[in-house]
Amino acid sequence: MDDLDTAIVLIPLLAVLAPVAARAVGTWIRVPVVVFELVLGIVIGPSVLGWTGPSAFVELLSEFGLAMLFFIAGTEIEFAAMRDRAGKRAVGGWLISLVLGVVVGFILVPGPGAIVIAVALASTALGTLLPILRDAGELRTPFGRAVGALGAVGEFGPLVAISVLLGSREPGVATLVLGAFILIAAGAIWYAARVPQGALHRFVNATLHTSGQFAVRTVMLILAALTALSIVLDLDMLLGAFAAGIVWRLLMRDASEHDRASVESKIEGLAFGFLVPVFFIYTGVTFDLASLLATPILLLAVVGVLLVLLVVRGVPSLLAAPEGAGAKERLAVMLMGATGLPIIVAVTSIGVDEELISSATASVFVGAGMLSVLLFPLIAVSLRGDTFAPTDLVDDRA
């Protein structure tokens, strides 16, 4: 069998095993299921067992998974949090992170590759953190709103930077093109927020339990339209996916709680039950572990980059900590802010494709991102007080 044949069987198998493994170790340590997806992908990939390898078809599915991850992140944006103290300070903290990231980037990779490093270091994994916050009952607390603001800026800011600084156009032209995209997306957001959507909500309700599934089909249309627009304008497609999530959230804002919950369940089933696991498992399959093992110093570099993430992204995140927060809560905010992976995977992939950084460098940063997802939220939740229930373990999403 070729790589596609084995991947078609192995990836669904690993997608099932990952939450089972998370559940099994949950008695001792609560690990996000994405970590198991990545590790299992590495195990079956060329660097370990060699059971499967890169495949164009699976890579396409993984791109859909990444887009769905950012769509979900867009649907979770709390606009009120972005306008208050936490949101404003999150923006300031991200700008500091970007400047520090550029400095570190030019030290590590002089030249255009420094921008890749800077964007990777200035990212926060909102898609990873939101399910953790939700399961811990923190989404609506001052702590959760602060982390949500950090994550929103830490995903949207890097996407803008990728589109302007790492596209094929000159930065000035790229900025104009980005402005055009923002105007179009803003028009869609204005329509979703201002125009009554009663007819849409009635149609969604009427097809919730029929083969029509109008809500899911509409989501896919909005996602496809805005990601296609991003691609046509030579912007990062994740920018369109993020904007699509915002548009859908606003379209459904006045729908009944039952309908919103039902649609959310269907979308999350499609995303976290199918597409997102493909992305993370395939990321593990294509992870260049061989380069790290061939040069042991690179393994130390992974730990070094993890510490750099904590300084470059984590320390500026303290600006968004809730007023009056104690030392433990501030440390938890710092750790959550420094948690990054999807943007790191995306931007380092671009860097390798454009020959701005080496595959080994990309592996070091992705490895550090994997460790940040494994360690930082775990420590942060422990500092806040362990409020997870055992039944929540299987629901640890991306």
Give the CATH number for residue 300: 1.20.1530.20
Residue 2 structure tokens: 């070729």
Provide the pLDDT for residue 36: 87
Q: Which segments of the chain does DSSP mark as H helices, in order?
A: 3-25, 33-44, 56-75, 79-83, 85-108, 113-121, 126-135, 142-165, 171-194, 198-206, 214-232, 237-251, 257-270, 276-285, 289-294, 296-309, 315-317, 327-337, 342-353, 359-384
Q: How many domains does the chain have?
A: 1
Provide the pLDDT for residue 379: 87
Provide the pLDDT for residue 2: 57
Provide the pLDDT for residue 135: 67
CB 298 within 8 A of CB 291: yes
Provide the pLDDT for residue 361: 87
Provide the pLDDT for residue 79: 65
CB 338 within 8 A of CB 314: yes
Provide the pLDDT for residue 196: 79
Range of the domain at 91: 3-395
b/e string for 278-306 if b means 16 or more Cβ within 10 A? bbbbbbbbbbbbebbeeeeebeebbeebb
pLDDT per residue of the chain (398 residues) written in tens, 0 to 9: 556 668 888 999 999 999 898 888 877 776 778 778 888 999 998 888 888 888 888 889 988 888 898 898 888 776 666 667 778 888 899 999 999 999 999 998 888 889 999 999 999 988 778 767 776 677 778 888 888 888 888 888 888 888 777 765 566 676 787 788 888 888 888 888 777 778 888 888 888 888 889 999 999 999 999 999 888 887 778 888 988 998 998 888 888 888 888 998 899 889 889 998 998 899 888 887 877 887 888 888 999 999 999 999 999 999 988 888 888 889 999 999 999 888 898 888 888 888 888 888 888 998 899 889 878 988 888 887 644 443 333 344 44
Which CB contacts under 8 angstroms, 24+ apart, belong to 372-376? 372/125, 372/306, 372/309, 372/338, 372/339, 372/340, 372/341, 373/32, 373/34, 373/35, 373/125, 373/128, 373/339, 373/340, 373/341, 374/31, 374/32, 374/35, 375/306, 376/310, 376/335, 376/336, 376/338, 376/339
Provide the pLDDT for residue 335: 94
Provide the pLDDT for residue 317: 93
